[in-house]
């Protein structure tokens, strides 16, 4: 391998000079060229943009793939395919897998049974939700994550590289300033020594000759240092302009990210809207078969026949309409009452309902003809209808 020894020595000298200048600045022993306030503001804004963009990017990845530990294998596979510039094979997501398992379970339990038929309906809905999620993830990755990644891996790397070059140019400029300052001090000292009139009666008049020679040498050194300073100043100004233009481009980055953010919100809105519609359709399907799938847990209790004078709860003659039900006339059955724990606070809508406080225990029971979503609750001398969804029935 062919080495350029002169270039290697020159680069080593420049590095050493910059190291000395940098160390002197840290200890406050040498002067440092300060950037103007506008430039400092641009630098601060760029750093803030980079830091927050990186946090938003990482957290969005977590949002779109909430279980990175469970998906470590798939992520490694995606990384390898990306490095090999190949398309990642499609795989079912969590919702689609859940739907598939539910439908397989329904086949095993029997699709004609209430549980099996419900598993088929819910499994089909889960698979549709998985398809919607897949589309949302793809849209978000292309429209939001990709622009953020391009900024971090492209634009920001370019900005960082130019900022490092600017810092090196500044160190070179300050080194030239320090060298020129030292050369001028030495020249002044040599000139003062040279102004003294020599005594030619001395046996050694060579001191005067040496002083004059040193003055001339330092004058040459000053000229050389001034030339190097002009060159360093020119390079610093040029690099500062390049860096400034890149930093001002952060404004365009904000505009681009703003547009991508709007697209992300639109994609997220469409995703949740579709999920809501699918769940509404599923709920309607389940409600249509509510009597078969969710039978009244108290309907088969023998205590009901005793409380109703031996008539069946399903007998229309003995059924009491909910809207005409008078709570004060309802009597608790001899058997069939249960304790229930209140899960959430509930404010009664009218006098027929009972207000609830979370974590309290009440006695509940059902009456013939009452909506299956409601129970009669008693707390001391208070009595009223209570919603089943607010209760945890205890054994």
pLDDT one-digit tens code per residue, 169-221: 988 888 888 888 888 888 787 777 655 445 444 444 445 444 556 667 777 88
> Above 80 in pLDDT, residue 13?
no
Q: What one-character DSSP code corresponds to residue 87?
A: P
Distances (CA, A) of 231 to 7, 31, 150, 224, 237: 19, 19, 36, 11, 10
Residue 8 placed within a domain: no
> Above 60 in pLDDT, residue 58?
yes
Residue 202 placed within a domain: no
Q: Which of 378, 348, 351, 374 is nearest to 364 (CA)?
A: 378
- The answer to whether the CB of 304 falls within 8 A of the CB of 298 is yes
Query: What stretches of 27-113 show up as alpha helix (H) in DSSP?
Result: 37-64, 72-83, 94-109
Are 222 and 349 part of one and the same domain? no
Q: Report the alpha-carbon distance of residue 52 to residue 45 in Å, rounded.
A: 11
Are 218 and 349 part of one and the same domain? no
Structure tokens at 341: 């724990």
Are 226 and 287 part of one and the same domain? yes
More confident: 265 or 297: 265
- The answer to whether the CB of 178 falls within 8 A of the CB of 31 is yes
Are 390 and 280 part of one and the same domain? no
pTM of the model: 0.59
Are 348 and 218 part of one and the same domain? no
Q: Which of 185, 267, 173, 289 is nearest to 228 (CA)?
A: 173
| CATH code, domain with 96 | 1.20.1270.60
Residue 164 placed within a domain: yes
Across 220-296, where does the E strand assignment appear?
none
> Above 70 in pLDDT, residue 250?
yes
Are 351 and 284 part of one and the same domain? no
| CATH code, domain with 355 | 2.30.30.40
Structure tokens at 265: 């919100």
Are 75 and 217 part of one and the same domain? yes
- The answer to whether the CB of 143 falls within 8 A of the CB of 149 is no
Dihedral angle sign, alpha carbons of residues 36, 39, 43, 44 = positive
Tens of pLDDT along 302-357? 444 343 444 444 343 333 344 445 776 777 777 778 899 999 999 998 888 999 99
Q: Report the alpha-carbon distance of residue 233 to residue 141 in Å, rounded.
A: 45
Last residue of a domain, one of 261, 277, 292: 292
Residue 300 placed within a domain: no
3-state secondary structure of 33: coil
Structure tokens at 360: 């309290």
- The answer to whether the CB of 95 falls within 8 A of the CB of 133 is yes
> Above 90 in pLDDT, residue 258?
yes
> Above 80 in pLDDT, residue 272?
yes
Are 131 and 60 part of one and the same domain? yes
- The answer to whether the CB of 335 falls within 8 A of the CB of 377 is no
Last residue of a domain, one of 257, 292, 327: 292
Tens of pLDDT along 357-384? 999 999 998 888 788 888 999 998 889 9
Predicted local confidence at residue 183, as pLDDT: 83
Residue 347 placed within a domain: yes
Burial label for 141, CB within 10 Å (0-12, 13-18, 19+), is: middle
- The answer to whether the CB of 341 falls within 8 A of the CB of 363 is no
Residue 222 placed within a domain: yes
Looking at every residue in the chain, the average pLDDT score rounds to 79
Predicted local confidence at residue 74, as pLDDT: 55
Region of 379 (left: φ > 0; alpha: ψ -120 to 50; beta: rest) is beta
> Above 90 in pLDDT, residue 300?
no
Q: Which residue range(s) make up the domain with 353?
A: 337-394
Residue 324 placed within a domain: no
Are 249 and 375 part of one and the same domain? no
What are the φ and ψ backbone dihedral angles of 296, each rounded to 5 degrees?
A: -65, 120
Tens of pLDDT along 126-173? 999 999 998 999 899 999 999 999 999 999 999 999 999 998 998 888
Structure tokens at 67: 């279980």
Are 265 and 377 part of one and the same domain? no
- The answer to whether the CB of 329 falls within 8 A of the CB of 360 is no
Contacts of 261 (CB under 8 A, 6+ apart): 144
Give the full edge-to-edge strand order of the sheet including 361-365: 382-387, 374-379, 361-365, 338-342, 391-393
- The answer to whether the CB of 375 falls within 8 A of the CB of 389 is no
Burial label for 270, CB within 10 Å (0-12, 13-18, 19+), is: middle
> Above 60 in pLDDT, residue 225?
yes
Residue 314 placed within a domain: no
Are 268 and 370 part of one and the same domain? no
Last residue of a domain, one of 292, 319, 353: 292
Q: What one-character DSSP code corresponds to residue 391?
A: E
Confidence of residue 81 (pLDDT cuts 50, 70, 90): low
Contacts of 392 (CB under 8 A, 6+ apart): 340, 341, 342, 343
More confident: 272 or 63: 272
Total domains, the chain: 2
Q: Report the alpha-carbon distance of residue 216 to residue 207 in Å, rounded.
A: 14
Q: What is the mean pLDDT of residues 74-95?
A: 68
Are 221 and 356 part of one and the same domain? no
């Amino acid at each position: 391998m062919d080495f350029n020894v002169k270039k290697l020595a020159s680069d080593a000298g420049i590095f050493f000079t910059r190291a000395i200048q940098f160390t002197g600045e840290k200890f406050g022993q040498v002067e440092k060229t300060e950037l103007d306030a506008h430039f400092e503001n641009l630098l601060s804004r760029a750093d803030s943009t980079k830091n927050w963009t990186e946090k938003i990017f990482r957290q969005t990845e977590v949002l779109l793939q909430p279980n990175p530990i469970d998906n470590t294998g798939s992520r490694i596979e995606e990384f390898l395919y990306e490095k090999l510039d190949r398309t990642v094979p499609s795989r079912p997501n969590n919702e689609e897998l859940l739907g598939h398992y539910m439908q397989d379970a329904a086949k095993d339990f029997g699709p004609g049974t209430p549980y099996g038929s419900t598993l088929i309906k819910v499994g089909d809905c889960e698979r549709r939700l998985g398809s919607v999620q897949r589309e949302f993830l793809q849209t978000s990755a292309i429209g939001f994550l990709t622009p953020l990644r391009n900024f971090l891996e492209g634009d920001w790397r370019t900005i960082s590289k130019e900022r490092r070059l600017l810092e090196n140019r500044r160190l070179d400029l300050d080194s030239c300033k320090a060298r020129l300052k030292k050369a001028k001090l030495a020249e002044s000292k040599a000139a003062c020594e040279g102004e003294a009139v020599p005594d030619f009666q001395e046996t050694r008049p060579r001191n005067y000759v040496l002083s004059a020679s040193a003055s001339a040498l330092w004058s040459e050194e000053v000229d050389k240092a001034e030339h190097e300073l002009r060159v360093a100043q020119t390079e610093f100004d040029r690099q500062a302009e390049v860096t400034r233009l890149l930093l001002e481009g952060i404004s365009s980055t904000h505009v681009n990210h703003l547009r991508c953010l709007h697209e992300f919100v639109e994609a997220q809105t469409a995703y949740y809207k579709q999920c809501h519609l699918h769940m509404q359709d599923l709920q309607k399907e389940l409600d249509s078969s509510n009597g078969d799938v969710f039978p009244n847990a108290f309907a088969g209790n023998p205590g009901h026949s005793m409380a109703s004078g031996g008539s069946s709860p399903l007998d229309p003659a003995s059924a009491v309409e909910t809207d005409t039900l008078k709570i004060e006339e309802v009597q608790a059955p001899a058997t069939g009452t249960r304790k229930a724990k209140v899960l959430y606070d509930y404010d009664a809508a009218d006098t027929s309902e009972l207000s609830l406080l979370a974590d309290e225990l009440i006695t509940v029971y059902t009456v013939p003809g009452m909506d299956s979503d409601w129970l009669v609750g008693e707390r001391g001398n208070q009595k009223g209808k209570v919603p089943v969804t607010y209760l945890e029935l205890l054994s």
